A = this chain, B = another copy of it.
């Protein structure tokens, strides 16, 4: 694939760099998919820059993080690109695709489904973990050796999962209000029944706590922020992540914040420190 295969949905100059929403035909997903890409001023002459992938939560798409997290200012400051993939394939013609907000469209859970009718398209683990970075690194000035990953809620779960499975690819990781033990949630049960055809074992590849218990780890400290007025707090189970990380000696900073809820009004309040966390690792490599 070359650059001409990207359809430009929108293109804007911002903070001296370029924000684009692009569309291309993903072989992995078997459909066209959209993503957002911010290239900071430091990349405008083709100079390869570090990049942070930002994964959004349930019901979001490729726009939410870039519109609502207020991250461009700090990406521009640090000279880091941002990539925001969609949260699922769309328009796959799977009959159940749009029946609920926590399964199908907007709810890919950043995993590879193993059961039909989902398995043919719902391959977000392979898409975000392999196809998307490969295609972007071939077409844009992104340094393949300097990738970080962050996410919010379902995307926080995704970011932790990718970083623990592929620590050699994702050099830095952080999350806002991640689903820490998804296999034990109602969302997880629904995912198990649909995407995994009832096979709970598949969660060992994606559940951050299960990954840690199975011996996966990340060499750098994981940064997690969690609001204490989060309407999903009991489902997210940050204490499970904290306890598991402690047991396996995974470096983790989990910060709890009074009054903050689950929204991007919370995310934007701490995004500066997340970008700085990634920058401190990526720009030191």
Contact = CB atoms under 8 A, between A and B. Distances in A.
Interface of A: 12-16, 19, 67-68, 70, 72-73, 227, 229, 259-261, 263, 265-266, 268-269, 272
A261 B13 contact: yes
Nearest to A71: B70
Nearest to A70: B70
A13 B266 contact: yes
Contacts of A229: 13
A68 B263 CA distance: 14
Question: Secondary structure of the A side of the interface?
Answer: mixed
A46 to B, nearest CB: 17
Contacts of A266: 12-14
B268 A72 contact: yes
B265 A14 contact: yes
A41 to B, nearest CB: 11
Given A13-B259, A15-B268, A19-B265, 20 more contacts: A12-B263, A12-B265, A12-B266, A13-B229, A13-B261, A13-B266, A14-B260, A14-B266, A14-B268, A15-B269, A16-B269, A67-B67, A67-B68, A70-B70, A70-B73, A70-B268, A72-B265, A72-B268, A73-B268, A73-B272
